[in-house]
């Protein structure tokens, strides 16, 4: 486990590529376009490749706040960045796509990028918790993750497929693959005016 080790690489060697999984979610500003633009932005993170991306899924919001449905997806990356470097790029992309942080938990958002997994590391620092704490209970994360990595083991808790089988189910529906959605959504630049 890494504890309070900002900026250090868990492998001690920045040339080693690590597989990391990122959860994407949006429910404002044309969420399909937000996610497509975020997938493009993930491709441009230095020292990082997107190896797989899931379909996009539509899910009902958690909590009691009245708000639009979310669009969710998961991307698998191969990266030579440290976990904190990767988190910084995810937060930069959120900012660039117009996210304004509020204290409201589960509130509406243009774009939320979560670092779900970083190799098989367990990280519990003030800025970063990996595996992401919500991962195992959230079917809107487990459904897309199961599509691209059903046999992936999560920190001694079982495989993604096992966790999905026992997870409380809400209303998560597959809406299409990114390539199909690009044709339908037209321009994949984030919509800043909605």
The CA–CA distances, whole Å, from 61 to 73, 77, 109 equal 14, 26, 11
The catalytic residue among 58, 99, 110, 138 is: 99
SS3 of 43-56: the string is HCCCCEEEEEECCE
Report the nearest approach of ligand AMP to the CB of residue 114 (Å): 4
- Is 187 one of the annotated active-site residues of the chain? no
Closest approach of ligand AMP to the CB of residue 150, in Å: 21
Q: Which position among 33, 58, 80, 112 bears the catalytic label?
A: 112
What is the separation of C-alpha 75 from the centre of its chain, rounded to a whole number of angstroms? 7
- Find all residues with CB under 8 Å of 120, minimum gap 6, and list them: 153, 155
Query: Residue 70 has which token pair?
Result: 């979310």
Is position 44 annotated as part of the catalytic site? no
Closer residue to ligand AMP in complex, CB, 80/132:
132
Q: How far is the CB of 186 from ligand AMP (least distance, A)?
A: 28
Whether 99 is a known active-site residue: answer yes
Strand partners, 18: 79
Please report how many Cα atoms fall inside a 13 Å half-sphere around the Cα of residue 171, on the Cβ side.
Answer: 5
Cα–Cα distance measured from residue 40 to residue 191, given in angstroms and rounded to the nearest whole number: 14
d(CA 83, CA 117): 9
How far is residue 81's CA from residue 94's CA, in Å, rounded to a whole number? 18
Residue 95 among the catalytic residues: no
Instruction: Note the residues at the interface with ligand AMP (CB under 6 A).
Output: 87, 112, 114-115, 127-130, 132
Q: So which residues are the catalytic ones?
A: 99, 109, 112, 114
């Amino acid at each position: 486990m890494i504890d309070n080790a900002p900026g250090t690489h868990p492998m001690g060697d920045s040339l080693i590529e690590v597989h990391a999984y990122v959860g994407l979610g949006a429910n404002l500003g044309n969420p399909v376009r937000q996610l497509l633009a975020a997938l493009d932005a993930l491709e441009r993170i230095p020292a990082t490749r997107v190896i797989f991306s899931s379909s996009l899924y539509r899910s009902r919001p958690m909590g009691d706040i009245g708000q639009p449905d979310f669009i969710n997806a998961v991307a698998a990356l191969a990266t030579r960045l440290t976990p904190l470097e990767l988190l910084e790029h995810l937060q930069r992309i959120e900012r660039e796509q117009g996210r304004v942080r509020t204290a409201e938990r589960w509130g509406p958002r243009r774009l939320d990028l979560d670092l779900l997994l970083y190799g098989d590391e367990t990280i519990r620092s003030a800025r970063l918790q990996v595996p992401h704490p919500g991962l195992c209970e959230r079917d809107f994360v487990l459904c897309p993750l199961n599509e691209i990595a059903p046999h992936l083991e999560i920190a001694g808790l079982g495989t993604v497929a096992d966790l999905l089988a026992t997870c409380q189910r809400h209303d998560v529906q597959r809406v299409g693959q990114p390539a199909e959605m690009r044709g339908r959504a037209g321009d994949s630049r984030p919509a800043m005016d909605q």
